[in-house]
């Protein structure tokens, strides 16, 4: 074991929909604010800018936790490893800390066992420290466990926010010791305007964003909100807000199974 063992920080900087100069500037600011966990994906088209921002920050590599995700077109034996190496080149790193399958949706029709075998190969080749999945349902995870030991599945990155608490999936992950990473924690801003969230924020003299992140944290999940404003990044990074049981129950009760991310290739979600 090396001295610098970092596991995934509870809070990461998400970069979905951030492109070009915006992606670069947002990641630079996030790193200046104190973020050390950066989440990207091949399909975001911003790995190059993120690589530049990380390089220019001069933060030692072993202080960072970098995640990227393999896109649907590369979920096959022919493209998988090659695409991961391209991601590493763009990010200017020798390996990522976490490599995820972005969606269980190979466009080439290859089986899950084939692309998960490639994922494992990427780990064995030292291209990533940890491996995991994203947007997998319970049925998908059960299938994945026929190829990968559940202990090897570092996380399932799924949509979780006050309007989609995703409790069935979360409890399945808990049973199998698979960590949950929550994306879109603010439900693309909608949950920040919720009266209940605002009421709890007033009670704690906090921002609605801080309340939602504290709720995610109280539920034992990691989360990766995205922001392009330094002030919001600072707010998000401030984890001093601690919710009581009543606060958590009130937010849990906002669940209405309202998904924001439902592309046409999405799996049949667990309700």
CA atoms of 143 and 117, how far apart (whole Å): 13
Distance CA 20, CA 24 (A): 7
- Residues 6 or more apart in contact with residue 258 via CB below 8 angstroms: 163, 164, 187
The residue behind tokens 């200017």 is: 92
What would the two tokens of residue 17 be? 């929909």
CA distance 209 to 212: 5
- Residue where the block lists tokens 């305007």: 193
Asked if 51 and 24 count as a contact pair (C-beta separation under 8 A), the reply is no
| Paired strand residues for 69 | 100
- Is 115 a known active-site residue? no
Catalytic residue among 24, 44, 115, 163: 44
Asked whether 212 and 223 are in contact (CB, 8 A), the reply is no
- The catalytic site residues sit at 44
């Amino acid at each position: 074991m090396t001295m610098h063992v970092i596991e995934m920080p509870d809070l990461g900087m998400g970069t979905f929909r951030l492109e070009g100069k915006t992606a670069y500037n947002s990641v630079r600011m996030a790193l200046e604010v104190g973020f050390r966990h950066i989440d990207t994906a091949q399909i975001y088209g911003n790995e190059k800018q993120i690589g530049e921002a990380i390089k220019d920050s001069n933060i030692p590599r072993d202080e960072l936790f970098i995640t990227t995700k393999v896109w649907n077109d590369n979920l096959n034996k022919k493209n998988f490893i090659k695409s991961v190496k391209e991601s590493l080149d763009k990010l200017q790193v020798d390996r990522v800390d976490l490599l995820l399958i972005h969606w269980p949706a190979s466009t080439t029709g290859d089986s899950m066992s084939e692309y998960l075998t490639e994922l494992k190969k990427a780990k064995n080749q030292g291209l990533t420290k940890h491996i995991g999945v994203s947007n997998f349902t319970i049925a998908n995870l059960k299938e994945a466990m026929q190829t990968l030991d559940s202990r090897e599945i570092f996380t399932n990155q799924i949509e979780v926010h006050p309007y989609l608490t995703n409790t069935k999936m979360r409890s399945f992950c808990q049973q199998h010791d698979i960590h949950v990473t929550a994306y879109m924690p603010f439900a693309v801003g909608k949950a920040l305007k919720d009266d209940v969230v605002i009421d709890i924020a007033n009670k704690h003299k906090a921002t609605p964003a801080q309340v939602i992140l504290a709720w995610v944290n109280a539920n034992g999940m990691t989360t990766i909100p995205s922001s392009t404003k330094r002030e919001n990044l600072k707010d998000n990074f401030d984890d001093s807000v601690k919710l009581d049981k009543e606060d958590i129950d009130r937010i849990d009760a906002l669940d209405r199974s309202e998904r924001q991310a439902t592309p046409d290739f999405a799996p049949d979600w667990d309700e």
